[in-house]
Chains A and B, each alone.
Chain A
Amino acid sequence: MKLDRRTARLVYGWLWLLPAAVLMAAFTHYPIVGGLVSSFFSTPRQGRLSRFVGLDNYAVMIADPVFWQVLRNNFLYAMGTIPVSVCLALLMAMWVNRKFRGRAVVRTAYFTPTILPMIAVANIWLFFYTPQIGLLDKICSFFGIPGHSWLGDPSTALACMVVLAIWKDAGFFMIFYLAALQGISPEFEEAALIEGAGRWYFFRRVTLPLLMPTTLFVMVNATINSFKLVDHIFILTKGGPDNASSLLLYYIYEVAFGFWDTAYASTLTVVLLLILGALAITQFKYIEKRVHYQ
């Protein structure tokens, strides 16, 4: 059989796509569909087979107070971490973009939290937060402030997670901003100087718009991170006290592998996917409009 040129090109092209497509299908698309399907079935237990239960799992979820709590926690966590870590990243990038003595040291210091594994970071922070003997309480007691069980109090546990996440993420985002800042041609600054633009004006009208593609990228990453990075919870609180610091993904893990309730875990996963999908679409659709690619 002889293929005509067009078909041959088509086959050739698809063959190149095939490895990636197979991996995507096997490890991304199939699990999504599989998760969706299993959310309509019951978990097999004690010899009882899995059976179709329709929307039962979703009804259970709506009635599950822990689900609503972790959802709320996740929302607060995202609102707490994203704006601060992105702003901080930009600030740090502006600062280390200038020339000064010890710049390399400062850059390294800012970036260090990023290269540490999250588990190691969480273990370090565990001893910061530990009441009485922890760093935080030691500093407090120096100023005569009474000690506090930072991770053991539902009103501060989640905030502790937020602070850690900011500390860990800001340095990472800084690298992107730094790269973007160095990509901005110095001619702009010179032109602005000649025109008599102030530094703040220049930042607001020139630098910031030019950084928008980076900001979009960083925002998307920060959002995803706030939903997908839960390693520190394992070390610091295991979601406690009374789920005060639990996040959606951690709860999914608990349900799936702790309780081995795979059907309910699938149901929660579908919700997580919907949230992330909706966020991604919103960010790309609306923020993209304000992004100028050079």
Chain B
Amino acid sequence: MKRSVIRVLVGLALAVAVMGGTVAHAAVELNMYYPVAVGGPITKVIDDMIAEFEKANPDIKVKAVYAGNYDDTRVKALAAVKANQPVQLSVLFSIDVFELIDQDVIVPFDDFATSAEDKQWLASFYPALMANSIVKGKTWGIPFQRSTIVLYHNKDIFKEVGLDPNKPPATWDEMVAAAQKLTKKDASGNVTRWGVQIPSTGYAYWMFQALCIQNGQELMNQDGNKTNFDHPDVVEALQFWRDLAAKHKVMPDGTIDWGTLRQKFLEGATAMMWHTTGNLTAVKEGAKFDFGVSMLPAKKRRGSPTGGGNFYIFKKASPEERKAALKFIKFMTAPELTARWSIATGYVATRPDAYRTPTLEKYVAEFPAAAVARDQFQYAVAEFATHENARNKKFLDDAIQSVVTGAKPPKEALTAAQQQAERVLKDYR
């Protein structure tokens, strides 16, 4: 079994090498990996956009491979780069930037995007979105599928329990009060509908970062070599998350799955949910009820981390391929395409001028929810990014999960996570 797999792989490798050889004569061929972390037919949208690019640029072929979620895609892209597979660019997690620099696999755009027009293009994105792209004064990533966390609420249920459907909670206290009203139990006391749900798998650290920002504390420093997991405000934020289930009984006990939460919201099993704006279109298509989208509630302040994926160009790409990749990325992030991408997914349009295109202007006028994530930019901060990010993220995720499942108190879990992160990060100062 094992051996036959190897034979197939060897055969495939040969076949790919032969095909690659023949195509290279005809045009520049670009290979990229990209992740999908939200619902809806995203792969088709991407394929269509690429087809459009190839039509306009017949000398460049782009092969885009869907590679799973953000972590899976990083694994596949890095493995391909290390195995000398031809991969010139990818859409990867914005927060992997330190890891990618440390591994010496990406190039800063400043190195080859040098014309005046290029520079103008680099400056055209929302500064909040560039916070995770700029390291040591250079731009390493171009915002593409970017988001903030927003609060989705089911207006029909709000009406049913006598809450104003057009006034979603704006503070933590209001959210708890509303959630208590929205939680519904059956005759035997079992909960049939929860007030609010914050997902704690997949991107638990991301949701938690929002709570921490709202409580006035960031989780890491700008250089990505120091974390603040054991800060009292951070502990307090995690206590609040736990309390939603343990004390206020408005959220289910245990971890809440990232992937299935949207479905639960659509089926009315939860009246409110925190989720990425990248899911907006999938919710809009799937909702059989009236729903609203708003900024996350505030404690000391409002706030959400930005999130999502950036375009990166790999060091191994030849100068010719880098040029072609740049052309492709510029095409994909042009205002009109950005506008259409935002409509197709719900991701924020990454640049102000995209919101001034007639396409998006009309859409936002009809569906104001589409602009909420953008409006939240004024409160947004960079997403959690450190050196050896995957590892530190896991320390934090494990701590969060051990708390929301009631296994450990917040202070104990976060102090342990801080110690672990400290051991990893002290080498980077």
Residues of A within 8 A of B (CB): 20, 23-24, 27-28, 45-47, 66, 126-127, 130-133, 141, 144-149, 151-154, 234, 237-238, 240-244, 254, 257-261
Contacts of A153 in B (CB 8 A): 253-255, 405
**What is the CB-to-nearest-CB distance from A147 to chain B, in angstroms, rounded to a whole number?**
7
Contacts of A147 in B (CB 8 A): 190-191, 252
Contacts of B104 in A (CB 8 A): 47
Instruction: Report if A243-B398 is in contact (Cβ < 8 Å); known contacts: A146-B191, A153-B254, A258-B71.
Output: yes
Can you pick out 26 interface pairs between chain A and chain B where the beta carbons lie within 8 Å of each other? A23-B6, A126-B259, A132-B194, A132-B270, A133-B264, A133-B267, A144-B190, A145-B190, A146-B190, A147-B190, A147-B252, A149-B252, A149-B254, A151-B255, A152-B253, A152-B257, A153-B255, A153-B405, A241-B201, A241-B254, A241-B401, A241-B402, A242-B398, A242-B401, A254-B394, A259-B394
Contacts of A238 in B (CB 8 A): 201-202
Residue of A nearest to B416 (CB): A65
Interface string of B219-257 (1 = CB under 8 A from A): 000000000000000000000000000000000111111
Contacts of A152 in B (CB 8 A): 200-201, 252-257, 405
Partner of A257, one of B79, B263, B399: B79
**What is the CB-to-nearest-CB distance from B170 to chain A, in angstroms, rounded to a whole number?**
27
Contacts of B255 in A (CB 8 A): 149, 151-153, 240-241
Q: Confirm or deny: B218 has a beta carbon within 8 angstroms of a beta carbon on chain A.
A: no
Please tell me if the beta carbons of B190 and A259 are within 8 angstroms of each other in the complex.
no
Contacts of B189 in A (CB 8 A): 146
Residues of B within 8 A of A (CB): 2-3, 6, 71-72, 75, 78-79, 99, 102-104, 188-192, 194, 200-202, 252-257, 259-260, 263-264, 267, 269-270, 388, 390-391, 394, 397-399, 401-402, 404-405, 407, 427-428
Instruction: Report if A132-B264 is in contact (Cβ < 8 Å); known contacts: A20-B3, A23-B3, A259-B391.
Output: yes
Residue of A nearest to B395 (CB): A66
Contacts of B254 in A (CB 8 A): 131, 148-149, 152-154, 241
Instruction: Report if A242-B260 is in contact (Cβ < 8 Å); known contacts: A46-B102, A149-B252.
Output: no
Given contacts A47-B104, A241-B404, 7 further A-B contacts (CB under 8 A): A130-B257, A145-B190, A146-B190, A147-B191, A241-B200, A244-B405, A258-B390
Instruction: Report if A141-B263 is in contact (Cβ < 8 Å); known contacts: A153-B253, A242-B398, A260-B390.
Output: no
Contacts of B3 in A (CB 8 A): 20, 23-24, 27
Partner of B264, one of A45, A130, A148, A257: A130
Residue of B nearest to A255 (CB): B391
Residue of B nearest to A47 (CB): B104
The complex places the Cα of A241 from the Cα of B399 at a distance, in Å, of 9
Contacts of B103 in A (CB 8 A): 260
Contacts of A240 in B (CB 8 A): 201, 255, 397-398, 401
Contacts of A257 in B (CB 8 A): 75, 78-79
Contacts of A259 in B (CB 8 A): 388, 390-391, 394
The complex places the Cα of A112 from the Cα of B317 at a distance, in Å, of 45
**What is the CB-to-nearest-CB distance from A21 to chain B, in angstroms, rounded to a whole number?**
11
Residue of B nearest to A151 (CB): B257
Contacts of A261 in B (CB 8 A): 391
Please tell me if the beta carbons of B402 and A133 are within 8 angstroms of each other in the complex.
no
The complex places the Cα of A141 from the Cα of B404 at a distance, in Å, of 24
Please tell me if the beta carbons of A132 and B269 are within 8 angstroms of each other in the complex.
yes
**What is the CB-to-nearest-CB distance from B314 to chain A, in angstroms, rounded to a whole number?**
16
Contacts of B200 in A (CB 8 A): 152, 241
Please tell me if the beta carbons of B99 and A260 are within 8 angstroms of each other in the complex.
yes
Please tell me if the beta carbons of B388 and A130 are within 8 angstroms of each other in the complex.
no
The complex places the Cα of A6 from the Cα of B302 at a distance, in Å, of 85
The complex places the Cα of A28 from the Cα of B188 at a distance, in Å, of 59
The complex places the Cα of A243 from the Cα of B394 at a distance, in Å, of 10
The complex places the Cα of A132 from the Cα of B257 at a distance, in Å, of 12
The complex places the Cα of A258 from the Cα of B70 at a distance, in Å, of 11
**What is the CB-to-nearest-CB distance from A176 to chain B, in angstroms, rounded to a whole number?**
15
Please tell me if the beta carbons of A144 and B404 are within 8 angstroms of each other in the complex.
no
Q: Which 4 A-B pairs have the closest CB atoms?
A: A152-B254, A149-B254, A152-B255, A241-B401
**What is the CB-to-nearest-CB distance from B203 to chain A, in angstroms, rounded to a whole number?**
11
The complex places the Cα of A263 from the Cα of B2 at a distance, in Å, of 25
The complex places the Cα of A264 from the Cα of B260 at a distance, in Å, of 33
Partner of A242, one of B2, B6, B388, B405: B405
